[in-house]
Structure 1
Amino acid sequence: MYVDESGTTHDPNQQYFVLAGFCVFERQGYWLATQLDRIAARFDPADPAAVELHGSPMFGGRGWWRSHPKDDRHQAIEDALKVFLQSHPSNRLFASVIRKSVVSPQDPVEAAFEQLSSRFDKYLMRLHRSGNTHRGIIIFDKSTYETTIQSLATDFRTIGYTWGVIRNFSEVPLFLDSKASRSIQLADLVAYAVFRYFEKGDNRFFPIIEPRFDSEGGVVHGLHILQ
């Protein structure tokens, strides 16, 4: 599962913190990256690999993105999210949306990670019970939360979390530079779409991905909202 955050834990002007991402069987990663490369090539046909698809700068036109028209930037976010919408049905979305005031003084990163990791673990457990056994791993963008998340992950596998012990992960979380991974970039866009929906009431992007949150029997397990 590739995961990124949106929102910050310390900004008093933001109500929400989001951890979100998607799980994908390893062979699907190449197809997703190829489709995202085509979107990046719109902005630099000579070197699409140099284009980082990053939600907040793309939306706001900051930094490198400043020279590109707003409509083109926003359409690229939409199209990248549609890549996931159109991907193999085994690929599932997960998100934890935390209103920071509700969990205070607890760290919202801890609350969100507990929800995300436990829901991914239970998804893997459902697969196992159906005879399709897999081990999972969570891959994050490099962030200031690395130490917190590594410590939590170790505790969940040994001491346990609120609802039990993590049983289906093959390793503690890994951290990658988002510039090197289209999958991390897609996780960032997913997190940003969720964040804008809850923080800003912006429904341009969220409805695109909403049908792909992990669910079973009409019950949505992949989207956790605490507000």
Structure 2
Amino acid sequence: MQLLFIDESGTPPTAKSAADVGYFVLGGVVIPEEVWVKLAADLKRIKASYQVHGEIKWRHFAQDKGGKPTPLSHLPIEHKESLRRDLYRALTAYKAVKIISVVAHAPSCYGKGYIETPDNIYWLCYKQLTERFQYMLQDLSRMIGHSVHGIVVCDNRGPRDDENLRNLHATLMSSDGENISRYQNIIEGLFIAPSHLSVGIQFADLVAGAIFRKFKADDGRFFSQIEGSFRTSPTGAIAGYGVVKFPKGAW
């Protein structure tokens, strides 16, 4: 069983704020069930070594500015950096763990006539991310000679958004293959969990943050630490496999 954990960096912007926000990222981490147990133990061990109690989130690594305390507030900035590095090392230590992401360029999205709202952006990114997960499951099935299945776990976003996403997921799973992939390897039903209760979503959040930073600020320091774990083509290409740009085009 393969588990796809999904989290986002920021929220999809409106058409008015698209130019300022620039990008929206859905980050996904695919973890085999037998590796999840080990990664959960790694997260617990690393947090204990830094005396971190509570949820690990990308935004908590920023320098504190006197606001509401976070689980990382007691750490100086250099210790935050080493903590993040240790977490990335734990994630990438398992070769079976794969990263799949979708990066949306918001101004280009709103240049398409069929995209009018932030929800449109989120849902189309979700569709592309789950499609790549299905393709990965198909590849694994062919490689080992029997069917490999997976489930999808998302961070909760609020009652209305969660209900809409469940409906979208159900529509995708029941598709007949016209303009939508046939999700034959994904077990029906979407699991939604609070990020502070999910090991996989906390890692997905760190992945999404690293990818957003690379595209928004042209800062690849964190992306380079996870680059070896992205899903790739048979020739080793990340583009279109581990990092899907949406919409297609020169941006």
TM-score by length of 2: 0.82
> Aligned residue for 2:91?
84
Report SS of the residue matched to 1:21.
Answer: strand
Structure 2 residue aligned with 1:116: 129
Q: Residues 60 and 155 from structure 1, CA distance in 2 versus in 1: closer, same or farther, beyond 3 angstroms? A: farther
Q: By how many angstroms is 1:60 displaced?
A: 4.0
Paired residue type of 1:58: F
1:222 aligns with 2:242: yes
Structure 1 residues 153 and 70, CA gap change in structure 2 (3 angstroms): same
CA, structure 1 residues 191+157, in 2 after alignment: closer, same or farther (shift >3 Å)?
A: same
What RMSD, in angstroms, separates the aligned Cα atoms of the two structures?
Answer: 1.9
Pairwise mapping of residues 46-85 of structure 1 onto structure 2 (< 5 A)?
Answer: 50-61=53-64, 63-64=69-70, 65-85=72-92
Cα contact 1:98–1:111 (8 A) shared by 2: no
- Partner Cα separation in structure 2 for residue 192 and residue 170 of structure 1: 28
- Looking at structure 2, the residues matched to 147 and 30 of structure 1 have their Cα atoms a distance apart, in angstroms, of 29
Q: Deviations along 1:120-154, whole A, 9 cap, x unmatched?
A: 00111111222142111110111144233212211
Instruction: Confirm or deny: 8 A CA contact 1:16 1:99 kept in the other structure.
Output: yes
Q: CA 1:134–1:60 in 2, change beyond 3 Å: closer, same or farther?
A: farther
Is 110-119 or 72-81 further displaced after alignment? 72-81
| Map of 2:153 onto structure 1 | 139
Structure 1 unaligned spans of 5+: none
Kept in 2: contact 1:43–1:51 (CA 8 A): no
Match of 2:187, SS? coil
**What is the letter of the counterpart of residue 98 of structure 2?**
R
After TM superposition, the score normalised by the length of structure 1 is 0.90
Describe the superposition over 1:71-110 as per-residue Cα deviations: whole angstroms up to 9, x where unpaired: 11122112211111111x2221100000112222252101
- Distance in 1, matches of 2:85 and 2:125, equals 25
Quote the residue 2:186 is aligned against.
169
| Secondary structure of the corresponding residue to residue 150 of structure 2 | coil
Question: 1:99: which partner in 2?
Answer: 105
**1:200 corresponds to which residue?**
217
Aligned equivalent of 2:5, options 2, 6, 31: 2
Greater gyration radius: 2
The answer as to whether partners of 1:6 and 1:19 remain within 8 angstroms in 2 is yes
State the SS of the aligned residue for 2:185.
coil
Secondary structure at 1:90's aligned position in 2? coil
Q: Which consecutive aligned stretches of 4+ in structure 1 deviate over 4 angstroms post-superposition?
A: none
Total equivalences in the alignment:
222
- Contact 2:22-2:216 at 8 Å conserved across structures: yes
- Give, in angstroms, the shift of residue 30 of structure 1: 1.2
Q: Tell whether the 8 Å contact from 1:7 to 1:14 is kept in structure 2 after alignment.
A: no
- Which residue identity is paired with 2:152? I
- How many angstroms does 1:16 deviate by? 0.6
Distance between the aligned counterparts of 2:178 and 2:126, measured in 1? 11
- The code of the aligned residue for 2:156 comes to K
Distance 1:189 1:152 in 2: 25
Give the structure 1 partner of residue 40 of structure 2: 33
Letter in 2 for 1:200: A
Could you tell me the percent identity over the aligned residues?
26
Say if 1:42 and 1:51 are closer, same or farther in 2 by CA, change over 3 A. farther
The one-letter amino acid of 1:139's match is: V
Counterpart residue type for residue 191 of structure 2: L
**3-state secondary structure, aligned to 1:162:** coil
Give the match's secondary structure for 1:204: coil
Deviation at 1:51?
A: 2.4
Instruction: State the distance in 1 between where 2:223 and 2:31 align.
Output: 19
The DSSP-based 3-state class of the residue aligned with 1:170 is: strand
CA-to-aligned-CA distance 1:35-85 (integer Å, 9 cap, x gap)? 1122211332xxx5x321111122343632333211111221122111111
